[in-house]
Amino acid sequence: MSLYPGYPSHLITTAPGVQIACVTGGEGPPLLLLHGHPQTKAIWHKVAPVLARHFTLVIADLRGYGDSSKPAGSADPALYAKRTMAADMLAVMRQLGHERFQVLAHDRGARVAHRLAADHPQAVQRLVVLDIAPTLAMYEQTNEAFARAYWHWFFLIQPAPLPERLIEADPSAYLHDVMGRRSAGLSPFTPEAWADYERCIALPGAAHAMCEDYRAAAGIDLQHDRADREAGRRLPMPVLALWGAQGVVQRCFNPLAEWQRVADDVQGGALPCGHYIAEEAPEQLLERMLPFLQSPHQGE
């Protein structure tokens, strides 16, 4: 991938008929990087050069996104459950030789990372989540302001094939509408990264896979999150939660308090940007994140 020169590319089989695309690079302890919607692994290209000085990076496309497999869903809601998508990433890391690792994740990827940490706490040493509150909290506290700003949450979960058909009619327009309406517009995105987003959203099955991701989030994922809450299961590893001061998450929720409700060791705060932190404020992200990822923690 041209955004990561010198990084070997991999296609790793994680389940029957499912391959996860990723690139690897750098030296040091392993760090898994997961992107959000409607993007790809390209989002990390501004921070990867610095991170690669300190970590062995595994930069992956989620199931349904980028160059990873896009299995047809609908009949089986578990195909895009965050539990399933998290299992993909655990398989990727194990096949690359990493039994324990840290995770840096944005948006949808951070929801996958949350489930990965919840289901496999022995594997996740530390977790950085960017510009989300936990899914259950966001759905339970949805109000008019959030619904207007995050309209795509409620559009994408409509029954197939309505949203798929509308996205596939003009994938680039959907990309512009979802990403360009945020606080920074399209200014954070380099031409090379944008070209990757446009290429991948137009791939066969991409629209359906994205919709299935969101349908799962509004269904089976909430069941899993409620089961954790009822059982008193919490994330034991250190968590760093960062969000954009100009973003919707800041405006509609109290993300630090919400993460403290599901994890034992949480720190974090707002950065001077909107939703796309790694592309809008890469230097500030690195300044806040590197000390956390490099600090010793009890039990390690």
Q: At 243, give phi and psi (nearest 5°).
A: -150, 165
Residue 233 resides in a domain:
yes
Residue 300 resides in a domain: no
Largest CA distance in the chain: 52
pLDDT of residue 1: 61
**Residue spans of alpha helices (H) in 13-134:** 48-51, 82-95, 108-119
pLDDT value for 238: 98
Query: In the prediction, which pLDDT does 116 show?
Result: 99
End-to-end Cα separation, the chain, in angstroms: 34
Residue 1, in any domain of the structure: no
Residue 299 inside a domain? The answer is no
Residue 236 DSSP SS3: strand
The number of domains in the chain is 1
In a domain, 201, yes or no: yes
How high is the pLDDT of residue 297?
Answer: 59
Output the pTM of the full model. 0.98
Point out the catalytic residue in the list 107, 213, 221, 225: 107
CATH number of the domain that residue 29 is part of: 3.40.50.1820
Residue position matching structure tokens 């949450």 = 153
Within-domain flag for 30: yes
> Which residues does 184 contact at the CB level (< 8 Å), separation at least 6?
246, 273, 274, 276, 280
What pLDDT does 73 receive? 80
Identify whether 3 is part of a domain.
no
Q: Which residues pair with 60 in a beta bridge?
A: 22, 34
Residue 147 CB partners (closer than 8 Å, separation 6+): 153, 154
CB count in 10 Å sphere of residue 138: 21
User: Residue ranges of the chain with pLDDT lower than 50?
Assistant: 298-300
Q: Which structural domain range is residue 135 located in?
A: 9-294
Are the C-beta atoms of residues 236 and 264 closer than 8 Å to each other?
yes
Give DSSP secondary structure letters for 163-208. HHHHHHH-HHHHHHHHHHTSTTTTTT--HHHHHHHHHHHTSTTHHH
Q: Is 228 a catalytic residue?
A: no
Whether 275 is catalytic:
yes
**Catalytic annotation, pick one of 35, 114, 208, 275:** 275
Question: Is residue 150 assigned to a domain?
Answer: yes
